[in-house]
Amino acid sequence: MNAIAGSPRLPAGAARPQRGPATGDAAVGQQTGRNTEQPHRATQPRPPAARAVQPTPPSVAGEQPAAIRISKLMAERGLCSRRDADDYIARGWVFVDGRRVSELGSRAARSAVITLDRRALAVQEACLTILLHKPVGYVSGQPEPGCTPAVVLIQPERQFRTTDTPAFHPSCLRGLAPAGRLDIDSTGLLVLTQDGRVARRLVGEDSTIDKEYLVRVAGQLDDRGLALLNHGLSLDDRRLKPAQVEWLNADQLRFVLREGRKRQIRRMCELVGLRVLALKRVRIGAVRLGDLPLGQWRFLRPGEVF
């Protein structure tokens, strides 16, 4: 693993970390689930004093009592994001058990078969995903006053191109949003996408995609501290998921995480007596930063998937 390029050196006389041992209308698309009808059960009439029943949201005919919003169900199945699902429903591009659904808030049983109109699939195929080598000084998401969002770097003169690379077009910026965070004082791989499916895979609550970082540190770290970095720390009264942390050299650690809490690595290091001097994300899932130059971007290649 290469060291972080341009990382600051430890000041003279500063204690170096002690290295410990590493430890069309026709519905097409993928169908999911099956619809099974349940027998109706006899119910007792309500007594006159029963409280008024609240209005129920719009629903698909024949729904079961455990019905949930179709947009949520679509997101859980990875068909699209909830925002895109609402858009497809409003356009009449969603079919539930073969019936078109066009009313927002509609519900269906968890076992329902959901398919997308070919027009929705065409929209998804046209969505772009961009990889940016973010420099220090840019924020990944919505900027605070005085901060510059990383998306401003997605310009034609900053595109890292090869002979078979598509050219930049202003439409590339439409709906482009970061899928995950990278702190203002960190560098490395940042994903920006128009595709809600990609965003959900990377930052959804059930995401299992790991992220790799190279971290240059100062301070003292014994074997117990290294073990705590791997598993045993909590942030904001919540236990962190197990991580993979190991020494690469005398002052650089390699972190592999499966979550992305705010300033997580810096706060983890503080808890064990380390100070982060430089942090660089080099991999998300199977997609690597590679030789993408600092401050430049490229499109996700056809063979690359998260």
Residue numbers annotated as active site: 183
Torsion of CA 203, 204, 209, 214, to 10 degrees: 30
Q: Report the C-alpha gap between 286 and 49 in whole angstroms.
A: 61
Q: Is 286 in contact with 304 (CB distance < 8 Å)? A: yes
Torsion of CA 222, 226, 228, 233, to 10 degrees: 110
Q: Is 299 in contact with 128 (CB distance < 8 Å)? A: yes
Residue (of 196, 179, 156, 144) closest to 281 by Cα position: 179
Residues in the chain: 306
